[in-house]
Structure 1
Amino acid sequence: MPDPDDLTARARIRQAALTQFADVGFQKATIRSIAAEAGVSPGLLRHHFGSKEALRDAVDAYVMDEIRRTNDDVTAASATGTFGASVDREALRPFQRYLARALLDGSSTIATMFDQLAAMTTQWVAAADETRTDRPGTDTHTRGALYTAMVLGIPLLHEHLSRVLGVDILSDDGDRRVALAMLEIYSHPLISTELAEQARAALYPDPPSRSAR
């Protein structure tokens, strides 16, 4: 059985790496600085993870596991009408910052993470399509990928959004403001389905056959 102290140290190292990779990026973060933040020696960090690259892989896996867990919780809660109580947005903020930095830095692992996020979002789009009264004009994969890009754009543009809104969007007040605005956007489309049909017809007079999936 693993030593509980080792498990605690491993978790501290992983959390410190997540924070530093998000704050300064993978290239600038060092084994020594991560170990110092975790309160361990560089040797113990290497004992647990071997290298900075392997540590990043562990952080990537942790971030995606937590996002999947949240996604599963929200999916289950939405089926029982307890959607709002199922999301711990404060707990998600470090992951938002981590993903934004990985996108900004062009991390070698961000492509895989984006693909996984897009796949999860596509499942939500497909489920939403089941209750639509009109027939979707584009496939779920395309819409899922675009939703993912738009959501990730919020933390990626953290500095600019915070300046325009006059509040740090990753603070409690800023996050609440963004969350409420996003709910408003999702629940009240900017244009009607009729106007969308007119625009679609004008842009593509002879579109390919439309599919609901």
Structure 2
Amino acid sequence: MTTSGPDPEDLTARARIRDAALWHFGEYGFEKATTRAITESAGVSPGLLRHHFGSKQALREACDAHLVKLISRINEQAGADTAAGGVSGVNHVAASMAALGPYQRYLARALTEGWAEPVFDAMVQMSEQWLAGLDERRSDPPFADRKARATVGTAMALAVGILHKHVSRGLGVDVSGQEGAHLLALTVLDLYSHPWLSPEEAAAYRDALDKTATDTGATLRSAEEHPDE
């Protein structure tokens, strides 16, 4: 994958404050992280933080916006390289993992604490774009709509980052490094290319789920209609 030069914003004091905030929010959580500690890490005055961001909440939103921008750049570059016959899907996954590696702690804490919504939504949107192309080649109709599949797929993919210490221990190599990211990409590729269920088995399980839902609904309705029985 080819890469462009650094974002001009990343050379500024504003970016130093944002990067310090990413570290402190990831290390201590949003509530416990202090603006004083963030400014000390960034080597700037508290007044400069207020000048650029106004509040800790706005600073957190700027952190999310930075990651959304990074994700968008990765996606755009991957699309351009794929169209040009360049980087493979495996290498794209490895490059994405490497690019987001420095922010894994922030993402893990933010997502498990229920914020970083813009980051999650951007990744879901990216997943929807990739699924759109896959659906064109799919012979059987999906069980769920594209947004639902993209949402759950994104959550499953992000779980690797949240659980990266456990995944790294299981793989025997740090998944945030180049070697680990490559092994992770190969593993994901194998799982995607050799699913555990055939389309026929999946359809049978779907029918069983539908039957269970129908039977459960009928039982609940009967209980509501005859509460004393």
TM range (shorter): 0.7 to 0.9
Give the distance between the partners of 2:206 and 2:41, measured in 1 at CA: 53
8 Å contact 1:74–1:83 — kept in the other structure? yes
> Compared with structure 1, are the counterparts of its residues 73 and 7 closer, same or farther at alpha carbon in structure 2 (3 Å cutoff)?
closer
5+ long unaligned stretches in structure 2: 1-7, 214-229
Q: 1:199 aligns with which of 194, 205, 208?
A: 205
Please give the per-residue CA displacement for 1:11-59, whole angstroms capped at 9, x wherever unaligned.
1111111122222221222112212222222222222222211111111
Alignment of 1:155-166 (within 5 A): 155-166=161-172
Q: What displacement does 1:64 show? A: 0.6
Cα deviation per residue 1:144-178 (whole Å; 9 max; x = unaligned)? 11101101111112233234334433233333322
State how far apart, in whole Å, the 2-side matches of 1:141 and 1:104 are: 21
Residue type of the alignment partner of 2:72: R
Counterpart in 2 of 1:81? 85
Distance 2:120 2:10 in 1: 31
> Does 1:32 find its partner at 2:36?
yes
Following superposition, the deviation at residue 7 of structure 1 comes to 6.0
Gap regions ≥5 residues in structure 1: 208-213
AA aligned to 1:92 is: L
- 2:195 aligned partner: 189
Does 2:112 correspond to 1:133? no
In 2: Cα distance, 1:183 partner to 1:66 partner: 23
How far apart in 1 are the matches of 2:133 and 2:9?
Answer: 43
Work out whether 1:117 is the aligned partner of 2:120: no
Against the structure 1 CA distance between its residues 155 and 127, is the aligned structure 2 distance closer, same or farther, given a 3 Å change threshold? same
Q: Note the 1:23-62 alignment, pairs <5 A.
A: 23-62=27-66
**Which whole-Å CA distance do the structure 1 matches of 2:138 and 2:124 have between them?**
21
Compare 170-179 and 52-61 and name the one that shifted more: 170-179
What is the CA-CA distance between 1:205 and the residue it aligns to?
5.3
> Deviation at 1:130?
0.7
Offset at 1:127? 1.6
1:147 and 2:153 matched: yes
* TM-score using structure 2 length: 0.76
Larger mean CA deviation between 21-30 and 87-96 belongs to: 87-96
Distance 1:168 1:189, change over 3 A: same
Counting aligned pairs with the same residue, the percent is: 50
What is the rounded CA distance, in whole Å, between the counterparts of 1:6 and 1:71 in structure 2? 19
* Superposed displacement of residue 206, structure 1: 10
Separation (CA, whole Å) in 2 of partners of 1:81 and 1:57 = 36
Residues of 2 paired with 1:136 and 1:112: CA distance?
27
Cα deviation, 1:116-143, whole Å, max 9, x if unaligned, reads 3212211211221011233323211111
Decide which of 100, 103, 108 is 1:100's aligned counterpart: 108
